[in-house]
A and B are shown apart, each in its own frame.
Chain A
């Protein structure tokens, strides 16, 4: 049952590096519900951690981080626990199935085939969903009605109108009953994506917003519950095989808990479209990052002409840098929006105090 894993030596530089990456990842996750984890697996692998140990250790830091983020955002009334658990259970099934598909692809086409599958999944899903989310955020921004309440999409209104007896459940984030038969495939897809690219939220959050009709703030907060349910099950599965390097998980967790608290606080200062903006920007930039790797894997599979070692290294390094930049840009938007929100609040408080004659 137990597999022997080679664990790296941790020096101070490695610890600081993981702590900082954890902080930035946590900040983004606290804000948009997920999205901070995708850079952690490659970040750990860049230190020499074996791929499977990196995935396992990433997952083992994700569920306690999501738990703290969900608890924090529940205090602000943003979490729909019931929806999170319902989606989380089907997402868990999706994770197991996604991992099974990955194993089969790896057996049939080897490491390069598996990597190509992951990269193509990244590119296709992020192009479609990321493009949609970013377009929606920019449309709201350009309309000038950023303070207006979000409109429920036509699709969500249709989903909410379908009555399938015996399957209807009320969810407070939707303020409506929907059939769990709709939640099952959406949760399953979230889990499958999590097993493939480590960020299920890129399906989970847009599904809750556009297919079910949840507000962005509640969708991103509820995603943390899904991430907790998925992460707990996944971590236990990896731990059974002795693949979790708890030192890596806990060091990343040390940074990410600072970040997730800050990201969660940040959501109380921003308008809902900023959540979509951060998510859309990250998704679209990461899409280019992964797109760069497609020729590398196609070349390794012999489907295109062989690339030189220098070209491969250049593409790999550029891809990693773009991915890190996506996360840093997302974190900067979060911090910028939060700083602006705090400044506006202080101005309002000062004006209020002047009006009431306190100053």
Chain B
């Protein structure tokens, strides 16, 4: 019973909501300002850092979100490491 309680407590509801909100905001900005985004992101030269930075930013935020998402659904790695 105690184990069950602690495993329920571990579920990262708060983090899922926070990262989820940030992900939705970022994607909303991207889709609502497609013209502006594409205008800057394809200028080449030093602007080449923009798509790279955006990819890193989304991988950080959305990577956390998707990780918490599967944890919330109870889909986690097998406890014993497989080699």
Contacts and interface: CB of A to CB of B under 8 A. Distances in A.
Contacts of B77: 75-76, 264-265, 268
Given A217-B82, A254-B27, A268-B78, A64 B58 contact: yes
A300 B34 CA distance: 38
B30 interface: yes
Interface string A336-359: 000001100100000000000000
Interface in B12-34: 23, 27, 30-31, 34
Contact of B82 (A10, A249, A261, A269): A269
A258 B58 CA distance: 13
B52 A236 contact: yes
A249 B59 CA distance: 11
Interface stretch (A194-202, A239-247, A289-297, A303-311): A239-247
A72 B63 CA distance: 10
Given A61-B55, A269-B78, A270-B82, A246 B41 contact: yes
Contacts of A271: 82
12 contacts: A15-B31, A60-B51, A67-B63, A75-B77, A76-B77, A239-B52, A242-B41, A247-B31, A250-B55, A261-B63, A262-B75, A268-B81
Most chain A CB neighbours (cut-off 10 Å) among B30, B51, B58, B79: B51
Contact of A64 (B31, B56, B81): B56
A264 B75 CA distance: 11
Interface residues of B, number: 37
Interface residues of A, number: 54
Contacts of A253: 55, 58-59, 62
B75 A257 contact: no
Contacts of B43: 2, 242
B58 to A, nearest CB: 6
B45 to A, nearest CB: 6
Nearest to A257: B66
Interface of A: 1-5, 7, 10, 15, 60-61, 63-65, 67-68, 71-72, 75-77, 149, 215, 217, 232, 235-236, 239-247, 249-250, 253-254, 257-258, 261-262, 264-265, 267-272, 341-342, 345
A10 B34 contact: yes
B78 A341 contact: yes
B63 to A, nearest CB: 4
B42 A244 contact: yes
B52 A235 contact: yes
Nearest to B46: A240
Contacts of A241: 44
Given A246-B38, A250-B30, A265 B76 contact: yes
A342 B58 CA distance: 30
Nearest to A345: B78
A272 B81 CA distance: 12
Contacts of B50: 239, 246
Contacts of A247: 30-31, 34, 37-38
Given A258-B69, A267-B82, A268-B81, A244 B41 contact: yes
Contacts of B78: 268-269, 341-342, 345
A15 B49 CA distance: 24
Contacts of A265: 70, 75-77
B19 to A, nearest CB: 11
A152 to B, nearest CB: 14
Contacts of A72: 67
B59 A244 contact: no
B54 A246 contact: yes
Given A10-B31, A265-B76, A269-B82, A258 B37 contact: no
